[in-house]
Structure 1
Amino acid sequence: MTPLFILAVGAAAIVAVILLIARFRFEPTLTLFGVAIAVGLAVGHAPTQAVSSFEAGAGHTLGHIAFIIAFGTMLGRMITESGAAQAIARTLIRLFGPRNIHWAMMLIGLVVGLPIFFDVGFVLLAPLAFVAARAARQPILLAALPLASGLSVVHALLPPHPAIMVAVQAYHARVGLVLLLGGIIAVPTAILTGPVFARFVAGRMKVHGVSSLEAQVLDTQVARAEPPVWLALLAVLMPVLLILAGLVLGGLFPTGMGHRVGELLGSTDIALALSVGFACVALGHARGLNSKAMSAHLHDCLAPIAFLVLLIGAGGGFGRALIDAGVSDVLTGLARHWHMPILLMAWGLAALVRLATGSATVAMSTAAALLAPMAQQAGVVSPEAMVLATGAGSVAFGPVTDPGFWQIKEYLGLSMGQTLLTWSVIETAIALLALAGASLFQYLAA
């Protein structure tokens, strides 16, 4: 198979997914499965190998995210059932005003997104966005898009995200300086791609109806007193606090019981499960819900996420099919042989791997591993700028190969075209603005 043929297969697969779902209204899960199998067969894989590739990608993705979504949905249900989301939403509206709710959601995304992955943060905070938008009588896009933008910006640019730390180590960059420079880039980037863009698009794009997840949150009727705001915020931030505590303990105790406790608390699944337990006790029982009622709420809230979980798994399987077909390797090889500035090469390579695989983490770690030796030989390139450029490219495009694309689509009840015009535009804008910031720092450092 020639590299050109493999690239053509990958491009045709992505176009086919978009057209079949957006234009011809094919069922998304079946479409992703069918196109993934077609990719494998086109590059010479046996049918069993093509199916195994899809299953491996779907299994890997679901192994990471399925219980995160489940536990996050349970936590969101307890937060809404107890009135905690309403208490936080009213406080935000009082502080920022109903017309400025998009600024509040951006700040929440930036803060909460620091220690946790995008998918975890969005699952955790989406109920808050739903309630805040309704209470402020604003379109859901005005609350949800700034939240998602803030989460994505810190995922791409700021430690302690694992992919950023891989890039920091590969380029031998200074963590403190990456944090400082990344923060300087992150704030204006989040403003432009979050509140500014959301204000522009919310009045021009009509979301028809509400998603099943949004309806589940908004249909919750709380006939009891709301908890104090500090307790509501503690329940929302509990996963973040546990993960941060795990990171601190892991750093303070390299071995022994302290390190094990740090690993336990630092696990996203465990942090979310413990947070659900905390919410049940602190919010549920305290607000008058008995164990039977809480168990029913936790059970019922899982039904609407079944399709979402399958769709995200199918997106992971599709991305794996492209990787196993050799698309990622071909793009990586081409990027290394392009004669371009190494900072732009880092961005471009990460962006291409992101487009082919859908994973920002894979894109960042792949590009950093390949370009670190070249960056060290060049000598004049700021390692911190390389980290930021690689991180910028890792979120480019918001492609259909990214499970997060389908997460945004289903949570917000968007069509395929609307998701491309909102989420994909936001991700690409983040990538370009962050690249511009990294290039500026490289110019000043030279």
Structure 2
Amino acid sequence: MPLLMVGLGVLFLIILISKFKLNTFLSLLIVSFAVALGLGIPLGKIVSSIENGMGGTLGHIALIFGLGAMLGRLVADSGGAHRIAMTLINKFGVKRIQWAVVVASFVVGIAMFFEVGLVLLIPIVFSIARELKIPPIYLGIPMLAALLVTHSFLPPHPGPTVIAGAYGADIGTVLLYGIIVAIPCVIMAGPVFTKVAKKIIPSAFEKTGNIESLGEQKTFKIEETPGFGISLLTAMFPVILMMISTIISMVQKTAGIKGNSFFTVVNFIGNPDTAMLISLIVAVYTMGIGRKIPIKQVGASCSAAAASIGMMILIIGGGGAFKQVLIDGGVGKYIATLFSGSSISPILLAWVVAAILRISLGSATVAALSTSGLVIPMLASCGHVNLALVTLATGCGSAIASHVNDAGFWMVKEYFGFSMKETFSTWTLLSTILSVTGLICILILNMFV
């Protein structure tokens, strides 16, 4: 019965979102109430379960999410992201142009959400493609691979940040392992897959694309943008702070050094909330005040960023509510019982469940959140489990097979001017290769950490 109710709930969610085009947040809320009733949660406890799910999820990530959006917007509005992309492209040269796009997209992707990074980088990619007389998708595939891998694996993106909080994994460790896993994933799903895609679907490499829907693009004169070094440092600053804190903590544990005020300060600065706040303050200066940009204009960028993520925050909260209903309704415990005599790895289980939900629901973030609700109870009976790798496996599974129920699918289709077949053969296949490569890398990493 518990699994039947989950199945019906997921089917109901798909119908509401795909067929009736109902808002994703409302759909999640309606399904959460319906599944709670179906699982037999007492009427007096349903509302509190949903409130706890939303509050617990948003309480952990709202600050990181909001500050991260503001940081990304400041880097973009100042022309810093444009400077990073163009400098790397010029340094790598024409022959290695794909690798330049990979590095630029990876750096920009860390600071910005997938859709924002896509909208920002696509005009640059199209401009370079026209200048070099190459198909836009030749640069588009590496760009999409880098943006998707940062979205799926690396905090402060909502998916990995939320999942890490749900599992109780250290975000700094997730970031460190995520970068290790991300590199082979980007290589396989980016430059390597481009060569395969050219043979599988040659017609996609004949399309010139259409980005008129993005409206008039903000143009920058390179001499008017912030310097490359300061732009790169600003975009990467939260990652640098969290990485330094994680590495020092690992050294402390390995060497058996007792905690003191130095380690306390390092941990405080490396905390994702603190790291994001410090990075935003740095960005306000480097991308704004330090360049004589009025503080009012800087504030307007921050306000616009906060406004743009309102619905995404609600959707994440709705996913948290659904997750909590699954936990309180005993679904997780039921699955844990089913697998109690099984030797299946929690890492593999998390990937499989996330992949199934991703294909069913479309939203990677919702799929990841729902997965955590099913997997958390099982972790308690698994003995020692590397929670950072389970987090990455969940994010990895939630990246698989983007298709018609995912907004990213339609963005890629329209911008590159693809048919449905061409979109499936490029974007859907790319996301699947990335997900499978990620799982293999995570399982290999699990042997050594």
Q: Normalising by structure 2, what TM-score?
A: 0.69
Work out the percentage of aligned pairs sharing the same amino acid.
Answer: 25
* Corresponding residue number in structure 1 for 2:290: 286
Distance in 1, matches of 2:327 and 2:231, equals 43
Kindly indicate whether residue 13 of structure 2 is the aligned counterpart of residue 14 of structure 1. no
* Corresponding residue number in structure 1 for 2:350: 350
How many angstroms does 1:312 deviate by? 1.5
- The answer to whether the 8 Å contact 1:398/1:425 transfers is no
CA change 1:281–1:434 in 2 (3 A) is: closer
CA change 1:437–1:240 in 2 (3 A) is: closer
**Paired residue for 1:328, among 326, 332, 336?**
332
* Corresponding residue number in structure 2 for 1:302: 306
* Corresponding residue number in structure 1 for 2:23: 27
Distance in 2, matches of 1:391 and 1:88, equals 27
- The answer to whether the 8 Å contact 1:82/1:226 transfers is yes
3-state SS of 2:226 partner: coil
How many angstroms does 1:333 deviate by? 1.7
- The answer to whether the 8 Å contact 1:37/1:50 transfers is yes
Q: Residue 265 of structure 2 aligns to which amino acid in structure 1?
A: V
* Corresponding residue number in structure 2 for 1:236: 235
Which is further off, 285-294 or 75-84? Answer: 285-294
Q: Residue 135 of structure 1 aligns to which amino acid in structure 2?
A: I
Distance in 1, matches of 2:81 and 2:353, equals 38
Write the deviation string for residues 111-166 of structure 1: whole angstroms up to 9, x where unpaired. 899xxxxxxx463676555333211214796465312443367569xxx99969x9
Distance in 1, matches of 2:119 and 2:410, equals 13
* Corresponding residue number in structure 1 for 2:42: 46
Distance in 2, matches of 1:207 and 1:50, equals 48
How many angstroms does 1:83 deviate by? 1.4
How many angstroms does 1:233 deviate by? 0.3
CA change 1:399–1:131 in 2 (3 A) is: closer
How many angstroms does 1:24 deviate by? 1.9
Which is further off, 142-151 or 68-77? Answer: 142-151
* Corresponding residue number in structure 2 for 1:275: 279
How many angstroms does 1:188 deviate by? 3.8
CA change 1:14–1:291 in 2 (3 A) is: same
Write the deviation string for residues 31-71 of structure 1: whole angstroms up to 9, x where unpaired. 11001000011122233422222221111221122222211
* Corresponding residue number in structure 1 for 2:122: 133
Distance in 1, matches of 2:36 and 2:62, equals 25
Write the deviation string for residues 354-412 of structure 1: whole angstroms up to 9, x where unpaired. 46873477777765543337xxxxxxxxx99x996895466324599xxxx98978998
Q: Residue 349 of structure 1 aligns to which amino acid in structure 2?
A: L
3-state SS of 1:44 partner: coil
**Paired residue for 2:57, among 61, 65, 81?**
61
Distance in 2, matches of 1:407 and 1:259, equals 43
Distance in 2, matches of 1:393 and 1:269, equals 22
- The answer to whether the 8 Å contact 2:98/2:191 transfers is yes
How many angstroms does 1:351 deviate by? 3.6
CA change 1:14–1:108 in 2 (3 A) is: farther
How many angstroms does 1:193 deviate by? 3.6
Q: Residues 28-427 of structure 1 correspond to what in structure 2 (within 5 A)?
A: 28-96=24-92, 103-104=99-100, 106-107=102-103, 121=110, 123=112, 127-137=116-126, 138=136, 142=141, 145-151=144-150, 183=180, 187-194=183-190, 200=197, 203=204, 220=218, 222=220, 225-250=224-249, 252=252, 254-338=258-342, 342=343, 344-351=344-351, 354=354, 358-359=368-369, 369-372=380-383, 392=393, 395-398=396-399
3-state SS of 2:71 partner: helix
How many angstroms does 1:242 deviate by? 1.4
Report the number of matched residues. Answer: 395
How many angstroms does 1:302 deviate by? 1.6
| Structure 2: unaligned runs, 5 residues or longer | 127-135, 358-366, 415-419
The alignment yields a C-alpha RMSD, in angstroms, of: 4.9
Q: Residue 334 of structure 2 aligns to which amino acid in structure 1?
A: V
Distance in 1, matches of 2:345 and 2:220, equals 53
Q: Residue 131 of structure 1 aligns to which amino acid in structure 2?
A: L
- The answer to whether the 8 Å contact 1:242/1:266 transfers is yes
3-state SS of 1:395 partner: helix
| Structure 1: unaligned runs, 5 residues or longer | 114-120, 170-174, 374-382
3-state SS of 1:54 partner: helix
Which is further off, 262-271 or 225-234? Answer: 262-271
